[in-house]
Amino acid sequence: YEYKPAPPLVTTITPPPFPIPTATFDALGAIGTGRWTYWLEDDQGNIVTEKMIFDTNPGNPRREIWIHWIKAR
């Protein structure tokens, strides 16, 4: 009886690139691309405004909507 251990496995290890890349947050990419529809409803669920449609796109500089409230009686 004779024991011979298996030959060691040879593995080539590639060093990481320098500098090591890190994950970054892309705020414009988080906006995404899509079509949105918004409207105003009262407390009973009745739509009280026209439906407005806008698109989001990371390349579009017009990414904001402003809603202004006026108290009228």
Model pLDDT for residues 56-73, shown as the tens digit of each residue: 787 777 767 777 778 877
CB 33 within 8 A of CB 57: yes
- pTM: predicted TM-score of the whole model, two decimal places: 0.43
CA 6, CA 24: separation in Å to the nearest integer?
45
Domain residue ranges in the chain:
27-73
Number of other CB atoms surrounding residue 14 within 10 Å: 5
Model pLDDT for residues 3-41, shown as the tens digit of each residue: 666 667 777 777 777 776 676 767 666 667 888 888 888
